Copies of this chain bind each other. A is one copy, B any other.
Amino acid sequence: MHGGDPLNRAIGVFDSGVGGLTVLREIIKALPSEDCFYLGDTARIPYGTKSKETVTGFAIKNTEFLVSLGIKFLVVACNTAAAAGLDRIAERFDVPTIGVVLPGAERAARVTKNGRLGVIGTRATILSGAYEREIVRIDPVIKVFQQPCPLFVPLAEEGWTEDEIAHLTAERYLSRFADHSIDTLVLGCTHYPLLKGVIQQAVGYDVTLVDSAAPIAWDVKKRLDEMGLKRDGSGGVKRFFVTDDPDSFKRVGEPFLGCRIDDVKHVDIVM
């Protein structure tokens, strides 16, 4: 699969599971002609409850696998992995790489009018301080308020996204933002867009919700264009790889991707 001409190589995308499919969906919209290889590390999911060292180790293994297929560009579509391990990946591999944190941070910094931003994510993403660091680097005047929301991922995976339990959970996690008068909230986890309804209600309709999926897709397009690696046309091939069962990935993943998932292979990079 190592294509000769780098132009014809695929974009590699990985996440701990299905969440990154919301990112892939935007990449497919922005770059319909590109081949994409998506790896979901479903045997070791979730990343958001684990330490920086462990998550970085997983991210390196995932990158090794995608690089072995011959990719021209790498997208770390998992906030926890991008927050923990992006610098280590960039050091270690030759392939141009971006993660979901920076495009989301840039977008939020542009969107806010009052300079008061909220960030929600997994415990590992919030503890890493990655969003705050990027946002403050872009504009040191912006105030950032953070909150981990560990139950949002299991709620999204259970499909309980709009009921009383989801509402109460969102209110419990997000009520503290009311004291901080934020006008923008970063959804710092690729699962959270599925809970947009209850999140929006909990923080109020004056707060703009920002996620990284569309901004990262625009960045990939811009970077490929600058490097002369963007293919034109349409009809790129999509292939999916998982470290656990392919069938449950298909079933759970299709709502995240918004279309059928056909070609899923199990790969053994875990044992």
Name A's B-contacting residues (CB within 8 A).
42-45, 49-51, 53-54, 57, 61, 150-151, 154-155, 157-158, 160, 164-165, 168-169, 172, 243-245, 248, 270-271
Q: Which residue of the partner chain, among B43, B51, B150, B245, contacts A154 with CB atoms under 8 Å?
A: B150
The quantity of this chain's copies bound in the complex is 2
Enumerate chain B residues within 8 angstroms of A243, measured Cβ to Cβ.
Answer: 54
Closest 6 CB pairs of A and B: A51-B245, A154-B154, A54-B244, A43-B54, A57-B271, A165-B168
Q: Which residue of the partner chain, among B57, B61, B172, B245, contacts A165 with CB atoms under 8 Å?
A: B172
Q: Which residue of the partner chain, among B54, B164, B271, contacts A168 with CB atoms under 8 Å?
A: B164
Residue among A45, A57, A150, A158 having the largest count of chain B Cβ atoms under 10 Å: A158
Enumerate chain B residues within 8 angstroms of A271, measured Cβ to Cβ.
Answer: 57, 61
Interchain nearest-CB distance for A48 vs B (Å): 11
Enumerate chain B residues within 8 angstroms of A160, measured Cβ to Cβ.
Answer: 151
A54 touches B172 (CB 8 A): no
Can you name the residue of chain B whose Cβ is closest to the Cβ of A50?
B244
A158 touches B150 (CB 8 A): yes
The complex places the Cα of A158 from the Cα of B122 at a distance, in Å, of 12
The complex places the Cα of A54 from the Cα of B50 at a distance, in Å, of 19
